[in-house]
Chains A and B, each alone.
Chain A
Amino acid sequence: MKQNLDEILAQVEKPARYIGGEYNEPEPFDGKFDYCICFPDVYEVGMSNLGIKIVAEAVRGAEGAYVDRCFAPWPDFGEKLKENGIELYALGNKKPLKTFDMLGFSLQYEMSYTNVLYMLDLANIPLKREERGEEYPIIQAGGPCVCNPEPMADFIDIFTIGDGEENMRRLAELKLECNSKAEFLRRAAEEVEGVYVPSLVTVIYGDDGKIKGFSPDKKIKKAICRNLSDAVYPQKFLVPNIEAVFDRAILEVMRGCYRGCRFCQAGFLYRPVRERDKDKMVETARSLVCTSGFDELSLNSLSTGDYRYLRELIPALKEALPDVHMALPSLRLDSFEGDFVQESRKSSLTFAPEAGTQRLRDVINKDVTEEEITRGVRLAFEQGYTGIKLYFMLGLPTETDDDLRGIRDIVFKIRDVYSARPNRLRGLRISVSVSTFIPKPFTPFQWERQSSRGEVEAKIALLRKELLLKGVSLSWNDYSLSEMEAVFARGDRRTGKVIEAAYKKGCIFDGWSNIFKTEEWYAAFRECGIDPSDYTREWGEDEVLPWDIIDVFVDKKFLLKERRLAYENKVTGSCKSGCKGCGLQNVYCPVSREAKVKKQ
């Protein structure tokens, strides 16, 4: 006998994930344009994401647009929905996703790709765009991963590359002007910034199976929001029904990063740096806290310590919201300031030197010295911290065993700093976390190969030996997961087949290492005749890259120069010390412009 939704909810874990009705939820209505944001991960993760809140706000800017939301059902609920023939529905109006005009997937990490298929499937929507007629919603995708849209190109009708503040509203308006899906897609590609419609672009392969080019051979330029301070920003957050990953108000203080670490994709994708007006942010913070009741506020960006008005912003926020704790999640080691840190309620502090030696940190352009690390931890100890978390990468270009031993040296230096302190009440805990380096598109390391399983295992074995110390723990991630992530970060259109095959084998929630199905994934690759090592190999500098169809305005020449410098152990430094001519200066970069003005 089939069960109804209420009966099912009584049988699943955390049913409040699926009921909507969150505090601050806008009243559902039948819009002229119904848009549902689909987040391909569980409720607690999705509800913590700032990007989808901004997109929701942007689309609401179009007259008559209704915006709803949906998250990937945890497997227990997903199974029940299938068993009982209930189609996946939006949380606000409870209508099947199928009834919406457009579904917008937020692609935050590659390992959520199977969940996109999972959600489409649960919604009874064909997975492939070619199999979807006019009767189905338009499937759109945005988020950082779409800088290389190709692995998902068979499933998505329209990708939005870059900032969503302006183009998402424009898309909603355009949809109302169009009479068919084909017309909408064609016009969107022509008229809206940052739009990529894969059905309008053919990939040309050479005899060797490598990509020869694209037809038409026209790059899709990412959308840039030039004035963030005046752009849409949510003034109210939905209060999650159950505790989310981040149970707090979020202010994005700036977008982009001055630093240019050579492994960091976000650092290149989100160029140029745009800083928000501090007074407006205080107003936003006040509104977010008063309307939600959050008692924590976090100041987000890739490098919040570099935000130029931080010294004025923090006291202003403290004055406006005296009872609110402040969290600065991405505070960098070298901008570490003792008086800010005490606002956080955690007992351990995180540092990310990323590499064990100065030489290797120079290679990756991570501008942090050992003195800065020790100064940072000393300040942390003075604040009463007794736990330090350290993040490193394994398998970076030019890395040797000496670089790994450097991790041990850092651990020892931190211990020395702690031992030198008077009245130590508790033992020091240091946890070292290492992750496998993944060469990502649009970074100077985009051509690099990824270390093999054997190499990574040997590196971990070495570290385990080196770090067998009292009070020190070491953790690392699953190699297979990093390998898949590399494949789908760098994949071409052909890799989409593997995603579908893996989904059909039951792979969902792949980012959850306890759910990740290693065997099924490798079987899917074999079935599709695709070798992961074709995508984790080193790429020739003259090869056409799958993501060459996208233009994020960072010149390939600049990336190549950065790669050379890396091999010469030379740092480039931060944009704060002067424009490095990455390419954005020819399009729009307030930092570069300001530097020029100063010179004159």
Chain B
Amino acid sequence: MIVFKYTKNDGAEFISHLDTLRHLNKTFTRGGIKVKMSQGFHPHMLIFMSSPIGVGLKSTAEYCTVDTDTPPAEFKEKFNAASPKGIKCVAAYYTPKNINLASAIIKAKYYIEGLNVFDAEEVLSAKEFIVTNKRGESLNARDKIFSFSRRGDGYEAVLAAGNASLRPDVFVAALKERYGGGHIRIIKEESFVAGDRPPESLIDLSQEQKTP
């Protein structure tokens, strides 16, 4: 199996999660990367993506596991030769088993541009941080904000990801309402598993790929 990290930018940020899966499928076919199929009436490629990212959010740290015997270096090369604009593999690793990335990734780091200048400290020093989620409900999301600081012309935030996530667009909408801003751009730069380690740390690198 291969775990790979890929980008979603350069237009691809507008492609939904399901459509991204379709594009991954086609990329494997075009690139000649043989992927194992599921059993059953409607066989499909065994592809396991990390949690969906909102449409319009750029990322340089998406992860995906795919059941293939293609070695990592060859995988990366073939993938990038056949992938659509903005969906590019930045690293690929061999893993003996599927590390469930969708549930393992619990935090993500974002870079946010387009907000007015304000004191970033205020966000973390407050007890409450009220956001309005996509269903229109107001709730306190303070415990889902792990860090927030000014960086360059923008801000950097580490927010909860995975099952109990705080969507960065929801978070930023609340900031924009409070402090004002213009056209917002959000880039997901890193994902983390427990212990604030990168997802790659879950891969047992000591294991060599057995040639099939």
Contacts and interface: CB of A to CB of B under 8 A. Distances in A.
Given A15-B56, A291-B30, A293-B29, A6 B183 contact: yes
Contacts of B15: 16, 241-242
Contacts of B185: 6
Nearest to B184: A10
Contacts of B14: 9, 15-16, 19, 241
Interface string A238-262: 0101110001000000000000000
A243 B18 contact: yes
Given A19-B11, A21-B85, A292-B30, A7 B19 contact: no
B183 A3 contact: yes
B183 A239 contact: no
Given A10-B56, A15-B14, A16-B14, A239 B25 contact: no
Contacts of B23: 23, 239
Contact of B56 (A9, A242, A243, A290): A9
A23 B56 contact: no
Contacts of A21: 10-11, 84-86
A345 interface: yes
Given A3-B183, A10-B56, A242 B26 contact: no
Given A6-B183, A9-B56, A295-B25, A290 B11 contact: no
Q: Which of A19, A247, A289 has the largest count of B CB atoms less than 10 A from its CB?
A: A19
Contacts, number: 63
B: contact size bracket: 20 to 34
B82 interface: yes
Nearest to B18: A243
A295 B85 contact: no
Contacts of B84: 21-23, 239, 241
A239 B26 contact: yes
Given A16-B14, A242-B19, A294 B26 contact: yes
Interface string B2-26: 0000000011001110110011011
Interface in A8-67: 9-10, 14-16, 19-23
A398 interface: no
Given A10-B56, A15-B55, A292 B22 contact: no
A323 B35 CA distance: 12
Interface in B64-81: none
Contact of A292 (B11, B26, B86, B184): B26
A4 interface: yes
A201 B183 CA distance: 52
Interface in B53-105: 55-56, 82, 84-86
B42 A247 contact: no
Contacts of B28: 293
B191 interface: no
Given A15-B55, A295-B25, A242 B16 contact: yes
B26 A293 contact: yes
A247 B22 contact: yes
B184 to A, nearest CB: 8
B27 interface: yes
A243 B185 CA distance: 26
Contacts of A291: 30
**Among B16, B18, B185, residue most surrounded by chain A Cβ atoms (within 10 Å):** B16
A247 B29 CA distance: 14
Nearest to A11: B56
B183 A4 contact: yes
Contacts of A19: 11, 14
A239 B82 CA distance: 12
Contacts of A14: 16
Nearest to A289: B29
Contacts of B27: 293
Interface string A279-321: 0000000000111111100000000000000000000000000
Given A9-B56, A10-B56, A243 B22 contact: yes
Interface string B155-195: 00000000000000000000000000001110000000000
Contacts of B10: 21
Contacts of B42: 345
Given A3-B183, A9-B14, A23-B84, A293 B25 contact: yes
A3 B30 CA distance: 38
Interface string A78-121: 00000000000000000000000000000000000000000000
Q: Which 3 A-B pairs have the closest CB atoms?
A: A293-B26, A293-B29, A293-B30
24 contacts: A3-B183, A6-B183, A6-B185, A9-B56, A10-B184, A14-B16, A15-B55, A16-B15, A19-B14, A20-B11, A21-B10, A21-B11, A21-B85, A21-B86, A23-B84, A239-B23, A239-B26, A241-B15, A241-B19, A243-B22, A291-B30, A293-B27, A293-B29, A293-B82
Interface of A: 3-4, 6-7, 9-10, 14-16, 19-23, 239, 241-243, 247, 289-295, 323, 345
